[in-house]
Amino acid sequence: MDITLTDSLTSILPEMTNFLEMDTLIGNQYGGMKYSGPSFLGVPLFEPTSILNLVIRFFYNLLICWIIVKFFYYKKSRRRDYYVTFLLFSSTMFLMIFLMDNLSMQIGFTLGLFAIFGMIRYRTETVPIREMTYLFLIIGISVINALSMAVSIAELLITNGLLIGITWILESQKFLKHTSTKIILYDKIDLIVPERKEELIIDLTNRTGIKIDKYEVGHIDFLRDVAYIKIYYLLDKDETNSIDSFTKLNQFIN
């Protein structure tokens, strides 16, 4: 019996050693190393390594988000309110995710935030789709940078670089022309017929000052002799139009 017990312990000992080594590795990756410094009520007072890690990652994440907001979003929109909103969202999201100890809680909390924003979409104000897209982009980058404790620095740099590169390509008119639209309540209803297409384009160009690529005729009111026409045109370089599809005053007045 003693020989059998000894043999069992001998065979289990290497597995236990490997498990402890793996557990230590996981702890080192996720900041779970045993703390031996001063503490208060079981909470560490000061951990230089953890603080340095937090500060470096925070400012790195803030730099990436600032580059996207400053050089891609703000360059066209000039909306200072969203500029501040995006950077504050980035900082708050990063700190909340980074300081959570439970990895599964981090992921669940992140997915919950995405679901909430997808449902409410800031119901107090109509948020344009471009602003909502940048908001999700900023949140996603902050989550990636906060959860990337177990990946290499090279992978983190490449991931952020890819997101910046994709944003630059999609915002650049060298690779993708941005066609804007505008909805017009048109009064010369006799020109909306297909046979007078050229006359309609000339009249719309003269009255709006916009070089029109194409147009679509929408709702027609024969009682008032008016029709809704949606025109498509190219914006100048680094220009955006945030109220192109609005038809009522209360849609774009805060």
Q: Who contacts 179 (Cβ-Cβ below 8 Å, separation ≥6)?
A: 213, 232, 233, 234
pLDDT in tens, 199-230: 999 999 999 888 888 889 988 998 898 999 99
pLDDT digits (tens, 9 = 90+) for 136-161: 899 889 988 988 877 888 999 999 99
> What is the average per-residue pLDDT within 77-97?
88
Chain-wide mean pLDDT for the chain?
76
Neighbouring C-alpha atoms within 13 Å toward the C-beta of 233: 20
Percent of the chain with pLDDT over 90: 24
Residue 70: pLDDT band with limits 50, 70, 90: very high
> What band does 22 get if pLDDT is binned at 50, 70 and 90?
very low
Q: What is the pLDDT of residue 130?
A: 83
Instruction: Please tell me the predicted confidence (pLDDT) of residue 56.
Output: 92
Report CA 109 to chain centroid distance, whole Å: 16
**What is the C-alpha separation between 252 and 240, in angstroms, rounded?**
15
**For the purposes of burial, counting CB atoms within 10 Å of the CB of 231, is it exposed (0-12), middle (13-18) or buried (19 or more)?**
buried
